[in-house]
């Protein structure tokens, strides 16, 4: 067993277990607040007898419901952290590959694969985290072609599920390429903050009928939003599993200077070459940075 792998795996497991415990503690506190407000429902106010639709009752009900939702989100977060901690501990003792946080997300969603995408205000990919190679290939296609489930879910601020021939009809470029990967069903939901701002989306690939229902995906997406950006222990890197496409951005800058075009145009050239060569944008970027490819 490699000492470095053992130490790294144990450190990841301990960190994830600590975050899981903290999430459970926050869930318990949120549930306690909810219970206090539920007990106040229907109580007699100082002004006299309560009436149906009493404003105080409405307020207590709203606060209780909000804290129940928060508690459920924290518990979902804890389950994802515990799943990662288990895989990290197994990896530390030489079992399997280095764990990916998104593998547990795919399992929680009842799907074969899952991908988390963070986007800017124009719904362009800023970063991506995936569970496996098929989900990576699917997100690379979406990044190159500018269409697909993650982008649609983020732009429409709502869930979607597409299966079979509808995949090709909905996405003329992305759909056939996705089918060629052996993926015949996909579902996606946006990652939304409390103020309805969209920061990205969660897409799952290969969910069988009856699994990956919208409510189930929304629950996991809310937990991911807290884990990635909103929670006190937010980890945008997902234990090192987030790809910010730094290599591609660097190559875009180099190519821009080399052929005298804008960085945006250089990025478009890299994406076009990756698509026509049926390879990843990272592979094209690496060739450019090594001076082995000139797209001018």
Q: Along the 296 residues of the chain, how does pLDDT read in single tens digits?
A: 578 888 999 999 999 999 999 999 999 999 999 999 888 886 655 554 555 445 688 888 899 999 999 899 899 999 999 999 999 999 999 888 899 999 999 999 989 899 999 888 777 788 899 999 999 999 999 999 999 999 999 988 788 999 999 999 999 999 999 999 999 999 999 998 877 688 899 999 987 766 667 778 888 998 888 887 777 778 888 999 988 888 888 888 888 888 888 888 888 888 888 888 888 888 888 888 888 787 76
Boundary residue ending a domain (77, 99, 121): 99
CA–CA distances in Å: residue 246 to residues 17, 126, 228, 282, 289: 30, 10, 19, 9, 12
In three-state secondary structure terms, 127 is: strand
pLDDT of residue 296: 66
Asked if 81 and 19 count as a contact pair (C-beta separation under 8 A), the reply is yes
pLDDT of residue 210: 61
pLDDT of residue 281: 85
Asked if 263 and 252 count as a contact pair (C-beta separation under 8 A), the reply is yes
**Host domain of residue 79:** 3-99
Query: To 5 degrees, how large is the angle CA 248–CA 251–CA 252?
Result: 85
Whether 165 maps to a domain, the answer reads: yes
- The position carrying tokens 């809310």 is 222
Boundary residue ending a domain (66, 99, 132): 99
Same domain, residue pair 71 and 136: no
Same domain, residue pair 203 and 130: yes
pLDDT of residue 212: 61
Same domain, residue pair 116 and 209: yes
Same domain, residue pair 95 and 107: no
Q: Which of 94, 122, 69, 117 is nearest to 2 (CA)?
A: 94
Q: Distance (Å, rounded) from C-alpha 87 to C-alpha 292?
A: 39
Q: Distance (Å, rounded) from C-alpha 191 to C-alpha 153?
A: 9
Same domain, residue pair 251 and 233: no
For the entire predicted model, the pTM comes to: 0.84
Q: Distance (Å, rounded) from C-alpha 192 to C-alpha 194?
A: 7
């Amino acid at each position: 067993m490699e000492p470095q792998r053992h130490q790294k795996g144990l450190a990841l497991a301990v960190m994830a277990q600590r975050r899981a415990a903290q999430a459970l503690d926050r869930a318990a506190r949120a549930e306690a607040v909810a219970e206090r407000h539920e007990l106040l429902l229907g109580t007699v106010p100082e002004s006299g007898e309560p009436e149906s639709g009493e404003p105080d009752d409405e307020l207590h009900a709203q606060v209780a419901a909000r804290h129940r939702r928060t508690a459920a989100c924290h518990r979902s977060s804890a389950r994802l952290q515990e799943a990662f901690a288990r895989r990290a501990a197994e990896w530390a003792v030489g079992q399997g590959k280095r764990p990916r946080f998104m593998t547990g997300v795919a399992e929680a969603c009842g799907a074969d694969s899952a991908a988390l995408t963070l986007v800017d205000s124009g719904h362009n990919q800023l970063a991506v985290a995936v569970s496996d190679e098929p989900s990576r290939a699917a997100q690379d296609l979406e990044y190159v072609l500018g269409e697909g489930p993650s982008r649609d879910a983020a732009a429409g601020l709502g869930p979607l599920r597409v299966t079979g021939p509808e995949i090709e009809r909905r996405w003329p470029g992305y759909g056939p390429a996705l089918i060629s990967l052996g993926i015949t069903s996909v579902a996606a939901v946006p990652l939304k903050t409390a103020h309805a701002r969209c920061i990205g989306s969660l897409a799952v690939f290969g969910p069988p009928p009856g699994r990956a229902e919208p409510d189930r995906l929304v629950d996991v997406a809310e937990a991911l939003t807290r884990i990635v950006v909103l929670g006190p222990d937010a980890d945008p890197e997902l234990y090192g599993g987030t790809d910010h496409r730094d290599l591609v951005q660097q190559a875009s800058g180099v190519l821009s200077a080399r052929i005298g075009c804008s960085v945006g145009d250089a990025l478009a050239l890299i994406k076009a070459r990756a698509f026509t060569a049926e390879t990843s944008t990272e592979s094209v970027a690496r060739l450019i940075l090594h001076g082995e490819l000139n797209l001018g």
